[in-house]
Structure 1
Amino acid sequence: MLLTPRVKASRPKTLRIATALLAAATSATLLAATAPSPARPLGIGDRLFPHLGNPGYDVMAYDIDLTYRGDNKKPLDAVTVIDARATAPLKRVNLDFAHGKVRSVAVNGAPARFESTGEDLVVTPSRPVDRGERMRITVRHTSDPRPTKDQDGGWVPTADGLAMANQADAGHRVFPSNDHPADKAQFTFRITTPKGLTAVANGLPVATAHRGATTTRAFRTRHPMATELAQVSIGRSTVVHRSGPNGLPVRDVVPTKDRKAMERWLKKTPDQIDWMEGKVGRYPFETYGLLIAQAQTGFELETQTLSLFERDLFKRPEFPEWYVDSIMVHELAHQWFGDSVSPSSWSDLWLNEGHATWYEALFAEEKSKKPLQKRMREAYRQSDGWRQAGGPPAAPKGPAPGQKISIFRPVVYDGSALVLYALRQEIGQRDFDRLERDWVHTYRDGNATTADFVRLASSTAGRDLSGFFDAWLYGAKTPPMPGHPDWRKAAPAGK
């Protein structure tokens, strides 16, 4: 995610308070059968979001049915079906769900008891679930788009409907889930709306049915997806189709009244995909496109196969064309870095945002003559201050109280792209380019850690790079830049 700057682009400081509103972490939990303790919220122990996510099961698929009645201030009726496999004996199953009314829960077709505690929905099946057993959890509930005081994401009301922004930990504000990127799954969406509205979701359309005054559209992903990357758009929209490299279906969703005005931007996407493929290999998913929302989100978001952009980004005269182009490439790059290869924990966020920022800056250099080295030198100058404020790239400070998206600080954007620049300086252009391609190929459709990246980089370079990465990723101070002994750092604030 990329926050939309609120400064004039005559000084385009692409503030990367990155992936911001994708609220972080997960929580479908299953409690071991040997533990008869009362229902309580659990977590998988993520350092930044310790109460999100749940141990004890692995989600394989979500089937989410949503009924929207034309008012984005009223709850949607919903049914979420979760297919999972128990990885431990379970007497209870914890799901992350925080903003809706639960009407009933069934496990493998049998009614189950349930209660809400904290941000967890705790389910007690009619009988314990054995390790290795498949289970189908069916939750009938509402999905409430109305904001709460502490809301950092979830449903985003637009001028004509709704969209989603679940990063980093807000997926469970929309549907029950194991809301952590470590547990990716297949998704099917079925969205019923009044006629005259268009619904679109991640993946490709698989069915459309008309019944009376309503239309139901179904979409399915072909690749596993993290809950934070789910997207459903409902509104008075036009879906624009074109072809990308190798016949890739490119699908954009744009307010109908803005269809002609947005074409100058939308038609850029195939060439941008082609450019990215030239850097890191074939696009990893079944489709791509832009979702342009009539909403003041304050950010852009890399929801899988359908990146979310606020409409005003393309209409503000103070933003030069090259700058908007580079933001489009930022979210596109995330399809490889963050979506296909997802972080194992939120401390690995630098791998998402650092890479997206890197390709954004590289695109600006190659296409618009905006020197990458100049940008990296400025990032180096500020790096110690960013580390002081937000922690080092791979060990970021936790979110501020009540501000979960505050983990998206400059250190995970330009501060982390700076690490990649230093790495390229250290191992050379040829090995760096090979590493990037091998990274997205090796961990495609999966999760990876910072340690995985260090190991692959060391293997690619033919030498141990752990010392290099320890200093650049975990040090309180920014190390000297290889090849640039003249680069200097500004004193952090207060020094």
Structure 2
Amino acid sequence: MKTIKSLKILFLSLIIILLLAIISVYLLFKIYNINFAQKETVFNIGLDFDFVSIEDINKYYENNIGKIDVIKYDLDINLNLDNESISAAAIIDFIPLSSSNNFISLDFSSDFENISVTHNEKELIFKKLDDQLNIKLPSNHKDTVQLKITYQGKPDNKGLGSFYITEEKGSKRLLTLNEPIFASSWFPCNDFPDDKSLLRIAITNDSNYTSLSNGVLKEVLLNDDKKTYVWETYYPISTYLVAIYSAEYKHIKDSLILSDDKVLPVDYFLLNEDTEKSIYDLQVSKDALLFFNEKFGEYPFLKEKYGIAEFDWQMGAIENQTIVGIGSKLVSGNRFFSDVIVHEAAHHWWGNAVGLKSWKDIWLNEGFSSYSEALYWENKSGRNSLISTLFSKKNDFNDTRLYDPEGIMFSSTIYNKGAWVLHMLRFEIGEDNFDLLLKEYFNVYKYSNASTDDLKNLAEKISGKNLTKFFDQWIYNGVGFIYADYSLVKEKNKSYLKLNQIQDGYDIYNFSLEVNLVGADKKESVKYYITSKDTIIQLQTDFQINEVEIDPNNWLLANFIYED
């Protein structure tokens, strides 16, 4: 009996310890407000728990004074993964934009050695100062300038893994994750999201490695025990989306028919030995791409590919242009993480094709891609799937604004609140106008960059509505979401809806409110526009109202509480 009692105590103790561990992890994520794509990274990739804030980025940009417009990067990167170093050359074609156009500044953050800067094979004067490479140009340079910069050394591994090397069974693996401002840790660049350019990149590693990047594979060169993969883009790319993956990959070729005469190459590069399970999970992307192709407009990188590379970011994912990175623990053959696969596919419209004018607009990338998840499930399984997807995002964000968010840049706010705000915008301007907005926003700004103001202006043009209040309270200034209590009041054969906003942090939201007026055998849907903290509305019907249903179709980012 004592043994049984001891076992019971031990079992209960283990249960309590497990529950405490789960609660602790949950509180960690809530306190630091980390998005899912980053959560597992904290524990698995071994990086410092130091996420970039908008304030950090603004200071970073203030230091960059020699402005340029890059036309093309031509990179040659020789990898030495054993000592985690590179020997590299970067040829950069650009147009100087600064009023002092004999001086330019490139972002270049690692402590490289043997740096050389030449123009027409002549050495130029330069100074490496902190994260900047300041270069004096010849006084007689042309409007378009070409510089060649050679360097070698060990790139810093910054952010979430800007140059991250792992080892599995004696085989080294490399991934680069540049977002938001860490491309400069391994090549000199103008590290701004709005400066898109063409790219050629040649990656050299040991011959047993496959080296991947953006665009199309132009050639593979063999030299003794080395192999060079040469990739090139036909479409412009932002520096934060430039990628290198180098590992012993298994390449699976696939394709997707977008129309009678348009076939998109789809490539999977796998680390998982069970390729059937991996492909089963990853092929969700094909279904998503096909839907987005119809919903938003033609896949914007049709002449290149849609590639997915499995990598050692464990539970994370990254939308690198035409070569998405998917953490190895996301591919198990169970499709548990299909939302992540769909999200990264959506980024090829939102973030990759339609880029950002500023990191202050980061919610445009993540909010649009997160809402695209919901649209995908709505198309696949109906409106209930749309709502369940949105409800999973409803309470998981901090009370902060979307534009120029405070605190951690990649918090769940820009993802989850961003998705909800687009859902509310759909209600505000109407289904047809919203569908047109998605298509026009993509068509107008693809291969370019957009801001929150650009979205607002286009939405107003399409809908004919003034959306200043909507954008101010939900994007620019507003925090949190609507909390309100309501009641149905009957006095002298008249019925009234009383609604009181009780949220903290933002006194009054103005919003369109759908209400169902319910009688014994009849129901009528009406719409009101709420403009005050405390609202009383006389309800007009030709039947006796027994109850009211507030926001019955779940259009609002709100919690409504019925008060007797």
TM-score, length of structure 2 as denominator length: 0.72
Q: Is the 8 A contact 2:57 2:181 kept in 1?
A: no
- Find out whether 1:393 has 2:402 as its counterpart: yes
1:179 alignment counterpart: 191
1:241 deviation in Å? 1.4
The residue matched to 1:468 in structure 2 has which SS?
A: helix
2:311 alignment counterpart: 293
- Find out whether 1:414 has 2:416 as its counterpart: yes
1:368 deviation in Å? 5.3
| Amino acid aligned to 1:59 | V
Deviations 1:378-435 (A, max 9, x none): 655x38x722xxx3111311x5xxxxxx201121011111110110111111110110
Judged with a 3 Å threshold, the aligned counterparts in structure 2 of structure 1 residues 67 and 168 are, in CA distance, closer, same or farther, namely same
Q: 5 Å matches for 1:202-217?
A: 202-217=214-229
- Find out whether 1:482 has 2:512 as its counterpart: yes
Q: 5 Å matches for 1:7-406?
A: 16=35, 47=58, 49-51=60-62, 54-71=65-82, 73-88=83-98, 89-103=100-114, 104-125=116-137, 127-128=138-139, 133-142=143-152, 144-145=154-155, 147=157, 151-159=159-167, 160-244=172-256, 245=258, 246-255=262-271, 257-285=273-301, 286-296=304-314, 298-315=315-332, 321=335, 323-367=336-380, 371-376=385-390, 379=393, 382=395, 386-387=398-399, 391-397=400-406, 399=407, 406=408
Give the one of 462, 465, 468 matched to 2:467.
465
1:476 deviation in Å? 3.0
Which structure has more RCO (C-alpha within 8 Å, separation ≥ 6)? Answer: 1
Question: Which structure 1 segments of 5+ residues have no match?
Answer: 1-5, 8-13, 27-42, 400-405
| Amino acid aligned to 2:247 | G
1-structure distance, mates of 2:128, 2:274: 42
Q: Is the 8 A contact 1:23 1:168 kept in 2?
A: no
Deviations 1:246-265 (A, max 9, x none): 31111121127343431212
1-structure distance, mates of 2:467, 2:386: 24
Instruction: Answer 1 or 2: which has greater strand percent.
Output: 2
1-structure distance, mates of 2:392, 2:210: 44
1:164 deviation in Å? 1.0
2:449 alignment counterpart: 447
| Amino acid aligned to 1:393 | L
Judged with a 3 Å threshold, the aligned counterparts in structure 2 of structure 1 residues 93 and 224 are, in CA distance, closer, same or farther, namely same
2-structure distance, mates of 1:69, 1:378: 44
2-structure distance, mates of 1:203, 1:312: 26
1-structure distance, mates of 2:511, 2:433: 18
% identical equivalent positions: 25
Judged with a 3 Å threshold, the aligned counterparts in structure 2 of structure 1 residues 23 and 63 are, in CA distance, closer, same or farther, namely farther
Q: Is the 8 A contact 1:302 1:331 kept in 2?
A: yes
2-structure distance, mates of 1:372, 1:129: 60
2-structure distance, mates of 1:133, 1:163: 36
Question: Which structure 2 segments of 5+ residues have no match?
Answer: 1-24, 27-32, 42-49, 482-508, 515-549
TM-score, length of structure 1 as denominator length: 0.81
The residue matched to 1:68 in structure 2 has which SS?
A: strand
1-structure distance, mates of 2:458, 2:207: 51
- Find out whether 1:456 has 2:458 as its counterpart: yes
Farther off after superposition, 137-146 or 280-289? 137-146
1:488 deviation in Å? 7.7
Judged with a 3 Å threshold, the aligned counterparts in structure 2 of structure 1 residues 466 and 264 are, in CA distance, closer, same or farther, namely same
1:36 alignment counterpart: none
Q: Is the 8 A contact 1:80 1:140 kept in 2?
A: yes
1:19 deviation in Å? 8.3
| Amino acid aligned to 1:158 | T
The size of the alignment, in residue pairs, is 441
Q: Is the 8 A contact 1:202 1:221 kept in 2?
A: yes
The residue matched to 2:199 in structure 1 has which SS?
A: strand
The residue matched to 2:330 in structure 1 has which SS?
A: helix
| Amino acid aligned to 1:291 | A
2-structure distance, mates of 1:416, 1:248: 30
Q: Is the 8 A contact 1:331 1:356 kept in 2?
A: yes
Q: Is the 8 A contact 1:194 1:215 kept in 2?
A: yes
2:436 alignment counterpart: 434
Judged with a 3 Å threshold, the aligned counterparts in structure 2 of structure 1 residues 52 and 169 are, in CA distance, closer, same or farther, namely farther
1-structure distance, mates of 2:66, 2:37: 28
2-structure distance, mates of 1:488, 1:361: 15
Q: What RMSD in Å do the two structures reach over aligned CA positions?
A: 3.0
The residue matched to 1:154 in structure 2 has which SS?
A: coil
2-structure distance, mates of 1:342, 1:64: 22
